[in-house]
Amino acid sequence: MSTVSTVNGGISFWYAKEGTPAPREPLPGDVSADICIVGGGYTGLWTAYYLKKAVPFLNITVLEAKFCGYGASGRNGGWLYNGIAGRDRYAKLHGHDAAVRLQQAMNDTVDEVVRVAADENIDADIHRGGVLEVAYTPAQLARLKAFHAVEIAFGEKDRVLRGARETAERIRITGAVGSTWSPHGARLHPAKLVKGLADAVEALGVTIHESTPVTEIKPKHAITPYGTVRAPYILRCTEGFTAGLKGQRRTWLPMNSSMIATEPLPASVWDTIGWEGREALGDMAHAYMYAQRTADDRIALGGRGVPYRFGSATDNDGRTQPATIEALRDLLVRFFPTTAGARIDHAWSGVLAVPRDWCATVTLDRSTGLGWAGGYVGSGVATTNLAARTLRDLIQQDSGQAGPTDLTALPWVNHKVRRWEPEPFRWLGVHAMYAAYRTADRRETTSPRPDTDPLARAADRIAGRH
Stretch that binds ligand FAD, among 62-70, 90-98, 171-179, 432-440 (CB under 6 A): 62-70
- Number of residues interacting with ligand FAD: please give it, by CB under 6 A: 44
Among 241, 336, 372, 420, binds ligand FAD (CB under 6 A): 241
Please report, as residue ranges, which positions from 91 to 120 form the binding site for ligand FAD (by CB under 6 A): none
The DSSP bridge partners found for residue 374 are 361
Using H for helix, E for strand and C for coil, what is the string for the chain?
A: CCCCCCEECCCCHHHCCCCCCCCCCCCCCCEECCEEEECCCHHHHHHHHHHHHHCCCCCEEEECCCCCCCCHHHCCCCEEECCCCCHHHHHHHHCHHHHHHHHHHHHHHHHHHHHHHHHCCCCCCCECCCEEEEECCHHHHHHHHHHHHHHHHCCCCCCEEEEHHHHHHHECCCCCCEEEEECCEEECCHHHHHHHHHHHHHHHCCEEECCCCCCEEECCEEEECCEEEECCEEEECCHHHHHHCCCCCCCCEEEEEEEEEECCCCHHHHHHHECCCCCEEEECCCCCCEEEECCCCCEEEEECCCCCEHHHECCCCCCCCHHHHHHHHHHHHHHCHHHCCCCEEEEEEEEEEECCCCCCEEEEECCCCEEEEECCCCCCCCHHHHHHHHHHHHHHHHCCCCCCCCCCCCCCECCCCCCCCCCCHHHHHHHHHHHHHHHHHHHHHHCCCCCCCHHHHHHHHHHCCC
Q: Is 63 in the site for ligand FAD (CB under 6 A)?
A: yes
| Residue 71 sits in the site that holds ligand FAD (CB under 6 A) | yes
140 binds ligand FAD (CB under 6 A): no
**Which of 8, 15, 33, 44 is the binder for ligand FAD (CB under 6 A)?**
44
Minimum CB distance to ligand FAD smaller for 351 or for 394: 351
Q: Which residue is nearest to ligand FAD (CB)?
A: 380
Check residue 21 for interaction with ligand FAD (CB under 6 A): no
Regarding 214 and contact with ligand FAD (CB under 6 A), the answer is yes
- Distance separating alpha carbons of residues 51 and 287, to the nearest angstrom: 37
Q: Which is nearer to ligand FAD, 379 or 452 (CB)?
A: 379
Choose between 141 and 206: whose C-beta lies nearer to ligand FAD: 206
Residue of 284, 371, 379 lying closest to 87 (CA atoms) = 379
With respect to ligand FAD, which residue has the nearer C-beta, 55 or 223? 223
Per CB under 6 A, 154 contacts ligand FAD = no
The least distance separating ligand FAD from the CB of residue 346, rounded to whole angstroms, comes to 12
Residues between 73 and 92 that touch ligand FAD (CB under 6 A): 73, 75-79
Choosing from 133, 151, 156, 239, the residue that interacts with ligand FAD (CB under 6 A) is 239
Q: Which of residues 285-314 bind ligand FAD (CB under 6 A)?
A: 290, 302
40 binds ligand FAD (CB under 6 A): yes
Cβ nearer to ligand FAD, comparing 139 with 213:
213
When asked if residue 66 is in the footprint of ligand FAD (CB under 6 A), the reply is yes
For residue 15, state whether it binds ligand FAD (rule: CB under 6 A).
no
Asked if residue 376 binds ligand FAD (CB under 6 A), the reply is yes
Is 384 a binder of ligand FAD (CB under 6 A)? yes
Contact status: 42 vs ligand FAD (CB under 6 A): yes
Show the site string, 323-362: x = touches ligand FAD by CB under 6 A, - = not.
Answer: ---------------------------xxx----------
Q: Does 72 bind ligand FAD (CB under 6 A)?
A: yes
CB of 75 vs ligand FAD, minimal distance in Å = 5
Note whether 64 binds ligand FAD by CB under 6 A.
yes
User: Of 35, 36, 38, 132, which one interacts with ligand FAD (CB under 6 A)?
Assistant: 38
Helix 42-54, helix 383-398: angle, nearest 10: 40
Binding site for ligand FAD (CB under 6 A): 38-44, 63-66, 70-73, 75-79, 213-214, 237-241, 244-245, 257, 259, 290, 302, 350-352, 374, 376, 378-382, 384
